A and B are shown apart, each in its own frame.
Chain A
Amino acid sequence: MHSGHEAAKDEYIEQIAELSGEDVSLCYQCGKCTAGCPMAEKMDLPPSMVMRYMQMEHSDELKKATSRWDCIGCLVCGSRCPKLCNPAAVMEALRQEDMRKGTRSEEIEKLPVNFVKNAPQQALVSGFRKYVP
């Protein structure tokens, strides 16, 4: 039964949902995204758990997690999702929020010289797009 007023939504969760454009309520936790994620083993919160924490509005835990900085945008998660969710978009929104708030980003001057000299240009361009505000 409708209580007459909605529970206040967590601001951080709302912001991430809006940035990502994802309806996280669709996720039914089958775990196929995490099963396919090449970085899942290294992640504190793998994609399926990020989706669950978004549903549960565990914003403090999400803010503390660092898995969004391990995501490499390979899009395996979204391509396997039976509900057509895109956890990589949520990861990107979380990362963008870090950069907007200034809590984390890559610093160009700290990149290894060897990498800047030898990496293909596309690595620098895409890396800057993803990790630098």
Chain B
Amino acid sequence: MKIPYYPGCTLNTNAKDLQECAEFSAEALGFSMVEMPDWNCCGASLPLTANSAMGYAGPTNVLIGAKEEGQKEGLEDKLVTLCAVCYNVLKRTNYAFNKDAAKLDTINSLLESDYKGDTNVVHFLEVLRDDIGFDKVKESVSKELKGLKVAPYYGCFLLRPHEEVGLDDPYAPTIFEGLLKSLGCEVVDFSHKGECCGSYSAMSNAENAAECSFSVIDAAAAAGADVIATTCPLCQYNLDSKQAMMKKNHGDMKEMPIIYFTQLLSMALGKDIGKISFKSNSINPLPLLKEKGLV
């Protein structure tokens, strides 16, 4: 199974760890992600206001490119993303077009295209759940991550707006938990798995972003987690790199590693720990993994 893959602006650069581990895992599970040629940024956010056509042009071009590439190369008729934000923007673009034909016409005339709003956008997690199956993932695990207490953090973009994204139940999602269980982790349920990390306010008000991220880490720690797993490079950045700032306001806070879900997945699927990059992790997860006997 070969699926057109859209990396978006961050996966080939800041979030290489997330991508490399995903590529390893895909291969171990018998599928591959084929990076689309000539992709462009999705915009990393969708306009919330009415009649903002320009915000849809970027993601539409990506959706068209995936469809064309898939047909040309005989790939699966879908588009897979790793970044939660790309996933959110692309899915909501399709939703907007399916609800509002005039909007689709406007964008098609802008791009001189004939897009129909029908590129099937899936997140890597959905490929694991729906195409591979968590049972098969479990069978393929060569190193169970036993004893590691992991809090699955969805954040905003995988869940909201629910009717537009539709990945899972917005209040009681299970897809992330299902994957972590298949890796042998101890899944920690916590109150803030769908709360915001502070998102792009990191640019305008780092303190606000740090406070949002602190509330997530604090809730995960209170629930007994050793580590938080995420799918989004911006969540990873806010939760991880702002811990020094958080400590200034919350002196008794304990550092917690923030790890990409694919780092855990590839570890369980047998990737040599020395070959797993932890470049994005300012809080190094290795001491914790050693303590748990996983390294």
Q: Which residues of A contact B (CB under 8 A)?
A: 18-21, 38-39, 42, 69-70, 72-76, 78-79, 86, 88-89, 91-93, 96, 106, 111-112, 115, 118-131
Shortest CB distance A74–B (Å): 4
Interchain CB contact under 8 A, B203 and A119: yes
Write out the residue numbers on chain B whose beta carbons fall within 8 Å of the beta carbon of A127. Answer: 200, 202-204
Is B285 at the interface (CB under 8 A from chain A)? no
Interchain CB contact under 8 A, A72 and B208: yes
A74 vs B235: C-alpha distance when bound (angstroms): 12
Q: How many A-B residue pairs have CB under 8 A?
A: 132
Write out the residue numbers on chain A whose beta carbons fall within 8 Å of the beta carbon of B201. Answer: 70, 72
Is B59 at the interface (CB under 8 A from chain A)? no
Interchain CB contact under 8 A, A96 and B14: no
A121 vs B41: C-alpha distance when bound (angstroms): 10
For chain B, the count of residues having a C-beta within 8 Å of the partner chain is 43
Interchain CB contact under 8 A, A122 and B208: no
A119-B202, A120-B236 are known contacts; what are 13 more A-B pairs with Cβ within 8 Å?
A18-B50, A72-B196, A78-B161, A93-B49, A106-B203, A112-B206, A118-B237, A119-B14, A122-B9, A123-B203, A125-B9, A126-B85, A130-B45
Given A69-B204, A76-B196, A79-B170, do A129 and B45 touch, yes or no (CB 8 Å)? Answer: yes
Write out the residue numbers on chain B whose beta carbons fall within 8 Å of the beta carbon of A124. Answer: 203
Given A73-B200, A115-B203, do A126 and B49 touch, yes or no (CB 8 Å)? Answer: no
A39 vs B15: C-alpha distance when bound (angstroms): 27
Interchain CB contact under 8 A, B9 and A131: no
Shortest CB distance A57–B (Å): 20
Is B83 at the interface (CB under 8 A from chain A)? yes
**Which of the listed residues B44, B50, B162, B241 has the most CB atoms from chain A within 10 Å of its own CB?**
B44
A20 vs B45: C-alpha distance when bound (angstroms): 16
Interchain CB contact under 8 A, B48 and A89: yes
Closest B residue to A122 by beta carbon equals B44
Interchain CB contact under 8 A, A115 and B48: no
Given A72-B196, A72-B208, A115-B206, do A122 and B160 touch, yes or no (CB 8 Å)? Answer: no
Interchain CB contact under 8 A, B204 and A106: yes
A91 vs B49: C-alpha distance when bound (angstroms): 9
A15 vs B198: C-alpha distance when bound (angstroms): 28
Interchain CB contact under 8 A, B47 and A74: no
A28 vs B204: C-alpha distance when bound (angstroms): 32
